[in-house]
């Protein structure tokens, strides 16, 4: 969710190689995540992104996974700071971003019962969860992608128009 302020008001209209992209990003001022300016600019970009997905018929097929950062690990110890913040603060900062995505009509799946996993293959972090959290996320994605058909969504049987059997007209 990086947002930066540029010297030029319009996006570039040519392809950038990776070094050019890095240079362009470094040239801008990085706005602090959660600041009023970051949020305002991010909301504008998110709204444009949502509009583009809508035009392409993809917004209804998009799911946002809003997994809280884990405050505690499996032993009940606080998870370490990540990116300069504790999990509880990160969760507070992310909340309005998820709310904005919901207001744009995205399906946002909230996962709140998260636990940090010291045995995670990438190490302990507030967003490296125990396997059960990933199973919950997988189930949410599967439910979104392949919803169970409801009995109420089945078409009504055609009304009997009378049968030719026994008609003696």
How far from chain centre, in Å, is Cα 139? 15
Distances in Å between the Cα of 126 and the Cα atoms of 37, 74, 91, 131 are 26, 11, 10, 14
1 vs 9, more confident? 1
Percentage of the chain modeled with pLDDT above 90: 66
Domain ranges of the chain: 57-145
Residue recorded with tokens 């950038």: 16
Per-residue pLDDT for 21 more than 60?
yes
Q: Give the pTM.
A: 0.73
Confidence category of residue 29, pLDDT binned at 50, 70, 90: confident
Averaged confidence pLDDT in the chain: 85
**Alpha-carbon Rg of the chain, whole angstroms?**
24
Distances (CA, A) of 27 to 21, 34, 35, 88: 10, 21, 20, 31
| Whole-number pLDDT of residue 53 | 97
């Amino acid at each position: 969710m990086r947002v930066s302020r540029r010297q030029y008001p319009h996006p570039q209209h040519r392809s950038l190689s990776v070094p050019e992209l890095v240079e362009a990003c470094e040239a801008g001022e990085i706005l602090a995540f959660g600041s009023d300016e970051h949020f305002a600019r991010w909301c504008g970009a998110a709204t444009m992104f949502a509009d583009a997905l809508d035009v392409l018929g993809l917004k209804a097929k998009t799911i946002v996974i809003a997994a809280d950062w884990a405050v505690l690990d499996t032993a009940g110890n606080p998870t370490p700071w990540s990116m300069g913040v504790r999990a509880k603060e990160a969760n507070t900062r992310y909340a309005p971003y998820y709310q904005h995505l919901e207001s744009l009509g995205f399906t946002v799946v909230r996962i709140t019962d998260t636990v940090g996993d010291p045995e995670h293959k990438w190490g302990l972090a507030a967003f490296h969860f125990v396997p059960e959290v990933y199973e919950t996320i997988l189930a949410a994605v599967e439910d979104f992608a392949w919803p169970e058909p409801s009995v109420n969504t089945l078409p009504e049987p055609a009304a009997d128009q009378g049968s030719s059997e026994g008609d003696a007209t």
